[in-house]
Amino acid sequence: MKGNGRIVAFIAVVVVIVVFVLLNMTVFTVSSITVQNEVYSDYIDKTAIIDSSKIEHGQNIFLLNENNARLRVEESFPYLEVVTIERKFPSSVIIHVNMRTPVMSIAVAGVNEKFAIIDTDLKILDVVGIDDDLYKMATHINVGNKVVSPTVGAYLDDTDPINACLKQIGYVSDNEQLQFWHFFSSITIENATAYVTLRTGVVVRIDNIDSVDVKQHLRVALELYKTFDEQDYHRRTGYIYYDLTKGSWVWAEHDYVTTDAYVF
């Protein structure tokens, strides 16, 4: 047993020595910091992004804290998403960024005609007035709770059932590549029911948002919607919802009127 203990101690000493050597080798000090972006934007100032990250030339690449660097960049540039910070051994760091897309507007509490503009991650990108182009383009969110004292760069609390519902709708939009603000006209949430109005005029109703998988319900409803021909009456008006009495998704001309519902 004593022999095994000595072996373990020896291995530990070797590991410590190796780590010490690696941390002090100049070959592993950062000598190159670059920014890569998938889309061009005047907003992307690569020098300023590097400066805001606080990643410095000469620091050891093993001691780089990617999460702290990401938070610093995104705090300085609310419209930026740091996709990843890549360590390219032995001495290069690449900051991969992408532009966030403003897609939703939510009224600010206590201030008339002021709206928080958020993306599908529920990040507050801006606060604008009713005449601003961002507000005019955004999908308007009508909910009981307004945004209190919004801080640009902060995130809405996604543990709140209403915010969680919005985030799940955003998840579907991102994964289905729907272009959120172009596809959804407005979203109204009241009494745990979400009314998702499409730009074409059709309304998807999702009941009990606090207890169902909103993502799955929206996906199924949109699959039904996409089965209609683009010139079809059903694709320009009416409601799509899950009818408990029929045990299936239906299209109806009027909300909660099951007599005119069509089962698909």
Q: Give the model's confidence band at 5: pLDDT under 50 very low, under 70 low, under 90 confident, else very high.
A: low
For 106-122, the pLDDT digits (tens) are 999 999 999 999 999 99
84 and 59 together in one domain: yes
Better-scored residue on pLDDT, 201 or 256: 201
Based on the fold, state whether residues 158 and 239 are members of the same structural domain. yes
Q: Are residues 127 and 229 in the same domain?
A: yes
Whether residue 131 sits in one domain with residue 77 = no
Give one word for 177, left, alpha or beta, with left for phi > 0 and alpha for psi -120 to 50. Answer: left
Rg (CA), the chain: 25
Is the domain of 160 the same as that of 94?
A: no
Q: State how far the Cα of 17 lies from the Cα of 161, in Å rounded to an integer.
A: 52
Name the pairing type of β-strands 139-143 and 104-107.
parallel
Strands 139-143 and 184-190 come out as: parallel
Looking at residue 80, which CATH number applies to its domain? 3.10.20.310
In order of 69, 70, 113, the CA distances from 104 in angstroms are 27, 24, 15
**Domain boundary residue, one of 83, 99, 115:** 99
pTM of the model: 0.83
Average pLDDT in the chain: 89
Answer yes or no: do 88 and 128 share one domain.
no
DSSP secondary structure, 39-97, as one string:
S--TT--HHHHHHHHT--TTSBGGG--HHHHHHHHHHH-TTEEEEEEEEETTTEEEEEE
Residue 119 sits in a domain whose CATH number is: 3.40.50
Whether 87 has a pLDDT exceeding 70, the answer reads: yes
pLDDT digits (tens, 9 = 90+) for 10-69: 566 555 554 555 545 556 789 999 999 988 888 899 999 999 999 999 999 989 999 999
Which domain does 111 fall in, by range? 104-263
Domain end point (choices 99, 130, 157): 99
Domain count, the chain: 2
pLDDT, mean of residues 196-210? 97
Same domain, 85 and 195: no
